[in-house]
Amino acid sequence: MLLVLVGVCLGLLTLQSRGYGSRASDLVAVVTTPLQAGYAKLTRGALGVWTTYLDWKNVRAENRRLRAEVQRLRVEALRVRETDDENRRLRQLLVLQERLPLATLPGEIIAREWGGWVRALTVNRGRADRIARMTAVISPHGLVGRIVDVRPGSAIVQVLTDPASTVGAHVVRTRTPGIVEGEPRGTIRFKYLARAGAGIRVGDVLVSSGQGGLFPRGIPIGRVRAIDDRGSALFNYAALDAAVDFGRVDEVLLVTGPTPQDLTAYFPSGG
């Protein structure tokens, strides 16, 4: 087809050279104008496709840039929140340390032993800080546990949920005495004499009793979640919600000096 059109154009040009100028020009125009229009249309179409492709690439690049920026801002916001949370916790710990009428040493939890629940914590204080076994460990929320193993630069904290843990305690409202025990499923319970337990209610707060001198008196331990008075004739039990979240506690105080005072008033959840 192209060869035919070229031949026609050459013939028309020959006619024009022999004196048939005007008519030949008209014929050339008749033949070439549609070709020129088609070529122009084809060119515009190709340019349009190319422009659309470039726009699409630019949009994709901009979307990638915006997604990266959004992700960066999210990470930055998370970092700021974590820093704010840490500063708030440290302020709470410092306020408690300044208020308490006993000697304490701040520490940071650097590891947790898990087994379905937290079994033990590692604190960044040890023999170098003159920490001894059986040192009480507390937080602004309440009693965490005691030191059971001391190393040069760290120590192991036995938390209240350890089945080997026992703490003398009493109900703040009724003064009912008993023992808080850790359970194998990672919870704690209050064991008390059946004859002394009348009046204990769900929601009652328990604090350390100070008996034995290991833990100061009045440190929050937990709240009664449920009461089971179907135990032996001698003892009843109350399931407790611990005052401290052992999976989230990060900063603690190690009690390095004794106090004869009841500390209930120094903790917001103490009664």
Phi, psi of 218 (to 5 degrees): 95, 10
Distance of alpha carbon 16 from alpha carbon 260, whole angstroms: 125
pLDDT score of 55 more than 90: no
Q: What is the pLDDT of residues 115-124, one digit of tens each?
A: 778 989 999 9
- Residues belonging to the chain: 271
Separation between Cα atoms, residue 238 and residue 240, nearest integer Å: 6
Question: Could you say which DSSP state residue 270 is in?
Answer: -
101 has pLDDT over 80: yes
Tokens 């059946």, residue located: 194
Question: Could you give the count of Cα atoms lying within 13 Å of 234 in the half-sphere of its Cβ?
Answer: 1
- Residues pairing with 199 in the sheet: none
Burial class (CB in 10 A: 0-12, 13-18, 19+), 140: buried
H-type alpha helices, the chain: 2-17, 21-99
Task: Express each pLDDT in 206-238 by its tens digit.
Answer: 999 998 888 999 999 999 999 987 656 788 899
Euclidean distance between CA atoms 40 and 35, whole angstroms? 9
Helix, strand or coil for residue 175?
Answer: coil
Q: What is the rounded average pLDDT of the residues 63-75?
A: 81
**Token reading at 44:** 């515009």
136-183 pLDDT per residue, tens: 999 999 999 999 999 999 999 999 999 999 999 999 999 999 999 999
Global model pTM greater than 0.85: no
- Worst-scoring range by mean pLDDT, 63-72, 209-218, 238-247? 63-72
CB 190, CB 180: distance < 8 Å: yes
Which two structure tokens, joined as six digits, stand for 103? 């000697």
